[in-house]
C-alpha cells in the first residue's frame, strides 16, 4: 500500500509527487499516456517564473526527472476507477488495482471533439487540434478553423501566415474571443469568416478533401480544405471519477482552493478542478496544496 | 539495430526495398511529443532484429512528408514490401507501435 497515489503525470501530478516525496510519503504516479500532460505540445513557454523561454517538453522532462530523483514511482497505466473503502482507497487501472491511504486526481483536460462522423479516423489526415503543432504541414493550402474563443482566433491568425486561405467557422455571429484579434483577422485578405455555421460533414477518401457546413438559415455549403483545426475548447478528464467525487455541470471536480473534494482522502489538483485560471503556475500550485491537505489527512488516520 | 536516418536519397533503398518490415518515424526537433516517442522507437530498434526502424526529419525532408501525406507528427508509418500497411499519429505507448507491425 502507498501513502499517496497520484493519477496523472502532468504539471499538477508531477508537482504533487515532488511535494509528497519531500514530505517522506510513498508515492505512486499513474499516467495513461506520457509524462508532462498538455504542455508537451508547446514549443515555447514564456510565462512561467524563472524560465523566460523553455519548451514544454523540456519543462515536463525536468519536472519528471525531479520527481523521479526524489523516489516517486511511475507506472504507465490508465486509471479507470477509484474505490473509496474509507481509510483505504483502491485505484483500478486497465490492468491492475493499487491501494493507498490518499488519492490525488490530477488528470487535467483533453481537446473537445467536434463530434462529426470520421473525425477520429482523420486525425493526422486533415483533422488537428493544435495549430502550432501541425500548421506547418498546410503551407500554401486551404484550411479551416472551428471555434469562437481566443484559441480559435489565435489559431486562425497563426495559420493565416502559413496557409493560402483560412476559413473561420463559428456557430454564432459574434466571437467570445478578443475584439483586437477579430479585428486583425478581418484585415487579412486570406481570411474568410463563415458565421452562424457548423461543420456537419467531413468529406475524405484517405484524407480530408472538403467539409460541409450548415448555416442557421438551413443552407449548406461545401468548402474545400485540406486541414480542419478544431478549437472548441477542452474537457476535463474526470469521466471515470464521477461516482466518487462531485463534478460540476461541465465535468470539473468541485473543490475550492484547498483542493479537497467531497470524498475524504481524495484530493484534486490542476486543470480538472473548478477554477478560473488554468495555467502551469496554478496547476503546480494545486500540487503543493493538495499534498499538504493529503499529508494532514494521512497523519490523522 | 540502430535507428537509421533516412532522407529523400536513401528512402527507396532503406524503406521501399527493405526486406524487413519498416517502422518510419516522421518527426521534428521542435515537436515535444516526438522527443517523448524517440526513446520508445529506439527501444524497438534495439530489441527487434526483424524490424528496421528509420527516422525522417520532416523539416529537412518536406517532400517525403508531403508524399506520404504526413500532416501531424509524431507519425509512425509501417511499411511492408514497399507499401504502407498501418500508421499511428501522436504519442503512443510501445504496445501501440508494435501493433502497427502486427504484434
Ligand atoms: C497548446 C497549449 C499551450 C499551453 N501553453 C501554456 C503556457 O505557455 N503557459 C502556461 O502556464 N500554460 C499553458 N498551457 C496550459 C497548461 O498546459 C495546463 O494548464 C497544464 O498542463 C495543466 O496541468 P495538469 O497537470 O492539471 O493537466 P494536464 O497537463 O492535462 O495533465 C494531465 C495528465 O493526466 C493524464 N491522465 C488523464 N486521465 C488519466 C487517467 N484516467 N489515468 C492516468 N492518467 C491520466 C494525462 O494523460 C496527462 O498526462 C497550454 C496548454 C496547451 C494545450
Residues A285, A244 within the same domain: yes
Residue A115 lies in a domain: no
Residues A103, A242 within the same domain: yes
Q: Residue A132: what pLDDT?
A: 86
> B91 vs A126: CB contact, 8 Å cut-off?
no
Q: Is A162 on the interface with B (CB under 8 A)?
A: no
Helical residues (DSSP H) of chain A, grouped into ranges: 11-22, 56-69, 131-134, 150-160, 179-187, 280-299
Residues A85, A136 within the same domain: no
Residue A118 lies in a domain: no
Residue A221 lies in a domain: yes
Give the pTM.
0.89
Q: Which residues, other chains included, contact A283 with Cβ-Cβ below 8 Å and sequence gap of 6+? A: A10, A11, A12, A15, A106, A108, A269, A270, A271
Mean pLDDT per block of 10 residues along chain A (301 residues) reads 98 98 98 94 90 94 97 96 98 97 97 95 92 90 96 96 97 92 96 97 94 97 98 95 97 97 98 96 98 98 92
Domains, chain B: 4-100 (3.40.30.10)
Residues A289, A214 within the same domain: no
Residues A250, A214 within the same domain: no
Q: Which residues of A touch B56 (CB under 8 A)?
A: none
* Cell numbers that stand for A155 in this block: 489559431
Please report, for the domain that includes residue A35, its CATH number: 3.50.50.60
> Between helices A179-187 and A150-160, what is the axis angle to 10°?
30
Most A CBs within 10 A among B29, B32, B39, hence the mutation to make, goes to B32
Which residues of A participate in catalysis according to the annotation?
130, 133-134
Establish whether residue A290 lines the binding site of ligand 1, counting it when its CB lies within 6 angstroms of any ligand atom: no
Tell which atom from ligand 1 comes closest to the C-alpha of A271: 26
Residue A242 lies in a domain: yes
Residues A240, A100 within the same domain: yes
Residue A84 lies in a domain: yes
Q: Which residues of A touch B74 (CB under 8 A)?
A: none
Q: Is A60 on the interface with B (CB under 8 A)?
A: yes
Identity of the residue in B33, B35, B69 whose CB atom sits nearest the CB atom of A207: B69
Distance of residue A300 Cα from the nearest chain B Cα, in angstroms: 39
Residues A213, A278 within the same domain: no
* Cα B34 from chain centroid (whole Å): 11
Query: Coil, helix or strand for A231?
Result: coil
Q: Residue A42: what pLDDT?
A: 87
Residues A58, A198 within the same domain: no
Most B CBs within 10 A among A34, A59, A111, A139, hence the mutation to make, goes to A34
Residue of A98, A107, A269 to mutate, ligand 1, most atoms within 8 A of C-beta: A107
Q: Residue B48: what pLDDT?
A: 94
Identity of the residue in B32, B58, B89 whose CB atom sits nearest the CB atom of A124: B89
pLDDT values of chain B reduced to their tens digit, one per residue, 103 residues? 899 999 999 999 999 999 999 999 999 998 999 999 999 999 999 999 999 999 999 999 999 999 999 999 999 999 999 999 999 999 988 989 999 998 7
Q: How far apart are CA B55 and CA B3, in angstroms?
A: 7
The last residue of a domain, from among A207, A230, A253: A230
Residue A156 lies in a domain: yes
Residue A12 lies in a domain: yes
Residue A283 lies in a domain: yes
Residues A92, A7 within the same domain: yes
The last residue of a domain, from among A196, A214, A230: A230
The last residue of a domain, from among A187, A205, A230: A230
Please report the sign of the dihedral spanned by the C-alpha atoms of residue B79, residue B82, residue B84, residue B86: negative
Residues A223, A257 within the same domain: no
State how many domains chain A has: 2
Establish whether residue A285 lines the binding site of ligand 1, counting it when its CB lies within 6 angstroms of any ligand atom: no
The range of the structural domain enclosing residue A31 comes to 2-110+234-299
φ and ψ at residue A107, rounded to 5 degrees: -90, 0
Amino acid at each position: 500500500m502507498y501513502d499517496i497515489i497520484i493519477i496523472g503525470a502532468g504539471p499538477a501530478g508531477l508537482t504533487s509527487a515532488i511535494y509528497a516525496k519531500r514530505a517522506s510519503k510513498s508515492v505512486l504516479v499513474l499516467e495513461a499516456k506520457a509524462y508532462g500532460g498538455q504542455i508537451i505540445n508547446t514549443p515555447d513557454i514564456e510565462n512561467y517564473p524563472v524560465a523566460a523561454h523553455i519548451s514544454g517538453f523540456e519543462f515536463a522532462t525536468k519536472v519528471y526527472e525531479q520527481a523521479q530523483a526524489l523516489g516517486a514511482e511511475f507506472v504507465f497505466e490508465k486509471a479507470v476507477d477509484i474505490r473509496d473503502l474509507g481509510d483505504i482507497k483502491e485505484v483500478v487501472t486497465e490492468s491492475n488495482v493499487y491501494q493507498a491511504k490518499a488519492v490525488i486526481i490530477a488528470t487535467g483536460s483533453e481537446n473537445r471533439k467536434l463530434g462529426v462522423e470520421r473525425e477520429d479516423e482523420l486525425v493526422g489526415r486533415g483533422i488537428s487540434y493544435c495549430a502550432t503543432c501541425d500548421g506547418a504541414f498546410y503551407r500554401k493550402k486551404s484550411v479551416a478553423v472551428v471555434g469562437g474563443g481566443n484559441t480559435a482566433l489565435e489559431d486562425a491568425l497563426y495559420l493565416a501566415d502559413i496557409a493560402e486561405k483560412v476559413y473561420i467557422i463559428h456557430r454564432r455571429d459574434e466571437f467570445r474571443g478578443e475584439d483586437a484579434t477579430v479585428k486583425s483577422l478581418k484585415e487579412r485578405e486570406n481570411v474568410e469568416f463563415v458565421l452562424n455555421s457548423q461543420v456537419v460533414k467531413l468529406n475524405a477518401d484517405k484524407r480530408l478533401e472538403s467539409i460541409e457546413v450548415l448555416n442557421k438559415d438551413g443552407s449548406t455549403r461545401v468548402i474545400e480544405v485540406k486541414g480542419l483545426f478544431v478549437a472548441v475548447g477542452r474537457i476535463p478528464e474526470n469521466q471515470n471519477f464521477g461516482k466518487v467525487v462531485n463534478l460540476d455541470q461541465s465535468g470539473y471536480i468541485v473543490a475550492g482552493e484547498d483542493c479537497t473534494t467531497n470524498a475524504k482522502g481524495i484530493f484534486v489538483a490542476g486543470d480538472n478542478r473548478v477554477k478560473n485560471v488554468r495555467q502551469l503556475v496554478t496547476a503546480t500550485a494545486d500540487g503543493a496544496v493538495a499534498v499538504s491537505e493529503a499529508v494532514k489527512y494521512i497523519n490523522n488516520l | 539495430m540502430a535507428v537509421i536516418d533516412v532522407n529523400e536519397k536513401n528512402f527507396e533503398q532503406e524503406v521501399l526495398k527493405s526486406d524487413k518490415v519498416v517502422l518510419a518515424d516522421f518527426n521534428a526537433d521542435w515537436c515535444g511529443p516526438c522527443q517523448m516517442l524517440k526513446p520508445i522507437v529506439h527501444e524497438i530498434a534495439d530489441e527487434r532484429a526483424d524490424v528496421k526502424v528509420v527516422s525522417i526529419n520532416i523539416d529537412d525532408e518536406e517532400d517525403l512528408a508531403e508524399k506520404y501525406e504526413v500532416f501531424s507528427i509524431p507519425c509512425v508509418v509501417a511499411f511492408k514490401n514497399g507499401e504502407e500497411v498501418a500508421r499511428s499519429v501522436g504519442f503512443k505507448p510501445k504496445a501501440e507501435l508494435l501493433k502497427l507491425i502486427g504484434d
